């Protein structure tokens, strides 16, 4: 799939165009599952290009795609990832904190919303709300472990560590926060992204850079952004 190659090498305009074509073909051929998958990739590319208006258009359109099967993992993934990406890429933390959870048979898609809400609430100063979503991530990690889903266990554990890090940061425990955030980034570095997604909602190492920047350490933050 050419759009996957474009996305991996950061050819954002080509990724956007390729996925626009893919979504149009899927719509014409009544393939709503493939259409939503392409739309998630479109939103990611648009946001890298600061085409927020186009991303918003897709965000509004996605829930109206009829006939998509919730048993196909790309469907609940896209429906959870698109609004989470749109909020978090724009640093709209209060918006992220208010995302609505959509029930899914795939726990890792529900984790996306809990992750975005945890980061959004913590970075908006509501540590208590963030902690509630972190506890939901704990529950999902344990559920994934029980089903021996090693890949998604790691991915959601990264989200849990990241959420816990920003809760600690919001409470003023900056040393603990940085240790947790660095652990999340190091763990994520050991795992590849899944093909269902163009990228993590926000890379853990980018979140580490944000935390270092907010801690008054711009040089260290730059190093983490470059690694990301």
How far is Cα 98 from Cα 108, in angstroms, rounded to an integer? 19
| CA 174 vs CA 116, 154, 163, 180, 223: distances in Å | 20, 24, 14, 10, 19
Q: Are 41 and 82 in contact (CB under 8 A)?
A: no
Give the list of residues 6+ apart from residue 3 with CB closer than 8 angstroms, or none: 14, 15, 18, 19, 22, 38, 41
Beta-carbon neighbour count of residue 4 at 10 Å?
14
Query: Residue 52: what pLDDT?
Result: 97
Nearest CA to 156 out of 199, 197, 109 is that of 109
pTM: 0.95
How far is Cα 117 from Cα 7, in angstroms, rounded to an integer? 26
Nearest CA to 35 out of 43, 25, 44, 45 is that of 25
pLDDT in tens, 147-168: 999 999 999 999 999 999 999 9
Domains and CATH numbers, the chain: 101-227 (1.25.40)
Query: Residue 186: what pLDDT?
Result: 98
Query: Residue 106: what pLDDT?
Result: 96
Give the list of residues 6+ apart from residue 100 with CB closer than 8 angstroms, or none: 113
How far is Cα 220 from Cα 213, in angstroms, rounded to an integer? 8
How far is Cα 183 from Cα 177, in angstroms, rounded to an integer? 10
Q: Which residues of the chain have pLDDT under 50?
A: none
Nearest CA to 104 out of 130, 71, 127, 136 is that of 71
Q: Are 119 and 164 in contact (CB under 8 A)?
A: no
Query: Residue 4: what pLDDT?
Result: 86
Instruction: Supply the DSSP symbol for 153.
Output: H
Query: Residue 3: what pLDDT?
Result: 81
Give the total residue count for the chain.
Answer: 228
């Amino acid at each position: 799939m050419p759009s996957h190659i474009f996305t991996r090498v950061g050819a954002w305009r080509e990724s956007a165009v390729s996925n626009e074509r893919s979504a149009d073909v899927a719509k014409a051929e009544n393939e709503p599952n493939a259409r939503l998958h392409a739309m998630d990739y479109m939103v990611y590319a648009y946001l890298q290009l600061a085409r927020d208006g186009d991303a918003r258009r897709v965000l509004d359109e996605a829930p109206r795609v009829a006939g998509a099967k919730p048993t196909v993992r790309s469907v609940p993934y896209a429906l959870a990832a698109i609004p989470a990406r749109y909020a978090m890429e724009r640093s709209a933390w209060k918006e992220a904190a208010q995302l609505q959870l959509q029930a899914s048979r795939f726990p890792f898609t529900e984790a996306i919303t809990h992750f975005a809400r945890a980061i959004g609430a913590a970075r908006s100063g509501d540590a208590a709300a963030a902690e509630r979503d972190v506890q939901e991530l704990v529950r999902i990690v344990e559920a994934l472990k029980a089903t021996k889903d090693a890949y998604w266990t790691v991915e959601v554990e990264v989200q849990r560590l990241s959420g816990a890090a920003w809760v600690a940061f919001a409470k003023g425990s900056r040393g603990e926060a940085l240790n947790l955030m660095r652990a999340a980034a190091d763990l994520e570095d050991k795992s590849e992204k899944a093909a269902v997604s163009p990228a993590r909602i926000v890379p853990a190492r980018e979140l580490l850079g944000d935390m270092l920047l907010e801690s008054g350490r711009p040089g260290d933050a730059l190093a983490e952004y470059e690694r990301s």
